[in-house]
Amino acid sequence: MATAPLSRLCIHTITTKPLALPAAAKAYRDLGAAGITVWRESLKPLGIKESARILTDSGLKVVSLCRTGFFPAISESDRQKALDDNRLAIDEAAAICAPLVVLVCGAVPGIPLAEARRQITDGIAAIIPHAAKAGVKLGIEPLHPMYADSRSAISTLSQANDIIEELRSPHVGVTIDVYHVWWDDQLESQIARAGRARSIFSYHVCDWRSPTRDLLLDRGIMGEGCIPLRQIRSWIENAGFDGMIEVEIFSNDFWQLDQLQFLKRLKSAYLEYA
Residues in the site for a second copy, rule: CB under 8 A? 109-110, 112-114, 144-146, 148-150, 155-156, 159, 182-185, 208, 210-213, 215, 225-226, 228
Q: Which is nearer to a second copy, 96 or 116 (CB)?
A: 116
Nearest approach, Cβ of residue 146 and a second copy (Å): 4
Instruction: Specify the amino acid at residue 98.
Output: A
* DSSP track, 62-123: EEEEEEEE----SSHHHHHHHHHHHHHHHHHHHHTT-SEEEEE-B--TTS-HHHHHHHHHHH
d(CA 204, CA 219): 12
Q: Which is nearer to a second copy, 129 or 183 (CB)?
A: 183
In angstroms, the Cα distances linking 209 to 161, 189, 217, 223 are: 27, 25, 11, 9
SS3 for 190-242 is HHHHHHHCCCEEEEEECECCCCCCCCCCECECCCCCCCCHHHHHHHHHHCCCC
In angstroms, the Cα distances linking 43 to 39, 55, 218 are: 7, 10, 24
Q: Which is nearer to a second copy, 91 or 188 (CB)?
A: 188
Nearest approach, Cβ of residue 148 and a second copy (Å): 4
Nearest approach, Cβ of residue 153 and a second copy (Å): 9
d(CA 161, CA 142): 10
Nearest approach, Cβ of residue 250 and a second copy (Å): 15
Nearest approach, Cβ of residue 117 and a second copy (Å): 8
Q: Which is nearer to a second copy, 144 or 193 (CB)?
A: 144
Nearest approach, Cβ of residue 145 and a second copy (Å): 4
Q: Which is nearer to a second copy, 22 or 145 (CB)?
A: 145
Q: Which is nearer to a second copy, 47 or 109 (CB)?
A: 109
